[in-house]
Amino acid sequence: MAANRHWLAPHFLDENDSFDLVFQSWIFEADDRVVLVDPCTGNGKPHPVPFFDNLEVPFIERMSETGYRPEDIDLVVCSHLHHDHCGWNTQLRDGKWMPTFPNARYIMRRSEFERWGPQRDRHPVFDYNESVFERSVQPVVDAGLAELVSGSHRLTAGIVVEPAPGHTLGHQMLHLVSGGQHAFFTGDCFHHPIQLVEPAIPFGDAEDLEQAIAMRRKLVELSADNGALLIAAHLPAPYAVRARREGGDLHLAAAGTQEDLK
């Protein structure tokens, strides 16, 4: 950590070499669409980890403070189908799980859908995600709102979802291009920026560690190529990092900081 403290601290590293993870969603407007990325864990959903078990949080109220209502959302993009990235896909209404965003297309990668769907017994058991598909995914399918994509898939002129496997086999990221600027909403490709410098550092369980390492290296190159923001799901403010080249070296910085802007 010491060699990277100059750009990790204070945002992504404190004086004790500790860091915080946050759980958050992203809303943005582009190409006349309102897009929600990674709708967190959801309320009232059982989970084996007490921190997530049967949450009651004011997610919708906080969304309304940004000026958006659930019915305003046009696209919901789930980077993957772990509980903390698809939970608010649905809400419990009259004892039944129903889509939270009734006018949205829910964009999920087909391979990820198949990983967690009815045929998931072909894969290793992952108790951490038990029943997430039944509560947070299947109701969206039943309502006719799910759109399963493969490969690099263009949603609008400036919004593309791209494969980003490793953390899960069907993980994807969202590539936004607006006004000549680029941003990648990277989901769980990395949980902490140090993994972009040392991509073999694990965090939790990657379903394919080799792919996860390759994906982190690719993200750094993509950012350095076009100045793209790398906006990860669990980073605290300023929420993103950016890479640049100096000579033959790659340098990373927290977005918007002096280190980034110099």
Say how many CA atoms lie within 13 Å of 147 toward its Cβ: 14
Q: Is residue 169 part of a domain?
A: yes
User: Is 114 part of any domain?
Assistant: yes
Q: Is 92 part of a structural domain of the chain?
A: yes
Question: What mean pLDDT is predicted for residues 23-33?
Answer: 98
Predicted confidence band at 262 (pLDDT cuts at 50, 70, 90)? low
2 lies in some domain: no
Task: Inform me whether the pLDDT recorded for 176 exceeds 70.
Answer: yes
- The answer to whether position 262 is within a domain reads no
For residue 17, name the pLDDT band (cuts at 50, 70, 90). Answer: confident
CATH code of residue 141: 3.60.15.10
Phi, psi of 132 (to 5 degrees): -60, -40
Domain boundaries, position 158: 18-240
Is the pLDDT at 230 greater than 70, yes or no? yes
- Beta-bridge partners for 33: 30
pLDDT digits (tens, 9 = 90+) for 87-142: 999 999 999 999 999 999 999 999 999 999 987 776 667 788 889 999 999 999 99
Q: Is 254 helix (H, G, I), strand (E, B) or coil?
A: strand
The chain-wide mean pLDDT, for the chain, equals 93
How far apart are alpha carbons 251 and 127 in whole angstroms?
A: 38
**CA distances (Å), origin 260, targets 84, 147, 182, 198, 254:** 29, 37, 15, 19, 6
| pLDDT > 60? residue 36 | yes
248 assigned to some structural domain: no
The length of the chain in residues reads 262
In-domain check, residue 70: yes
Q: Collapse the DSSP code of 243 into the 3-class scheme (helix H, G, I; strand E, B; otherwise coil) and give the result.
A: strand
The domain total for the chain is 1
What pLDDT was estimated at residue 98?
A: 99
254 inside domain? no
pLDDT for 249 equals 84
- Residue 42, pLDDT above cutoff 80: yes
